[in-house]
Structure 1
Amino acid sequence: MPYAWKEREELAKVERDIVEGERLAAEQVLRIGWMAKRGHDTKEAEKLLRNCEQSLEQLRRHQQLILDEIVRREGSEP
């Protein structure tokens, strides 16, 4: 078993969260388009999208930290 098994478990979770976040962001983009076509105010929907994108940035940074720790513990790329 790799030395960094906990980190690998955490990495798998973070990667699932990134995929889910990307899916939610894509859905929100579609919602904003739908709302805009119908003349609805999209201000709050756009704010939610920005928050989702910021969360994704944080998750990607966390992913990189985990990858760095795996390399540190195991001495090679995951």
Structure 2
Amino acid sequence: MVAADRANWMQQLKIEQQLLVKAETDIEEGWTRLRDQQDLMEWLQRAGHDTKQAERLVNLLKQTLVEWERHRVLIEQRIAYLEGQVAS
């Protein structure tokens, strides 16, 4: 492998690893926001308020987290690929 190619693979790997750290943080914070919103929605329900908008938001947050988790898997796959390139 040419040194420039290896350096390029290593740079890409570093970037993907940074993206993975950010994705992990975003997902963790997203789950916290979701739990907070669910707690608020339950409180509103107990207080007799209309919770249609809160329910929509909870569902949207759940869908968003599913997509974020899928994206994290793609980042992990890319990292595995790049690690293979760097090792060869």
Output the TM-score relative to the length of structure 1: 0.90
Query: Is there any run of 5+ residues in structure 2 with no aligned partner, and where?
Result: 1-8
* Residues 1-78 of structure 1: pairs in structure 2 closer than 5 A: 3=10, 4-75=13-84
Q: Which has the larger radius of gyration?
A: 2
The percentage of counterpart residues that share the same residue type is: 36
Count of aligned pairs between the two proteins: 74
Q: Which amino acid aligns with 1:60?
A: E
In the alignment, structure 1 segments of 5+ residues that lack a partner are none
Q: Whose RCO is larger (CA < 8 A, sep 6+)?
A: 2
- Between the aligned partners of 1:59 and 1:33, the Cα distance in structure 2 is 25
Q: What TM-score comes out, normalization by structure 2 length?
A: 0.80
What is the deviation of 1:63? 0.2
Cα distance in 1 for residues equivalent to 2:60 and 2:35: 13
Q: CA deviation at 1:43?
A: 0.5
RMSD: 1.1
After TM superposition, what 4+ stretches of structure 1 lie above 2 angstroms from structure 2?
A: none
Q: Which structure features the higher share of helix residues?
A: 2
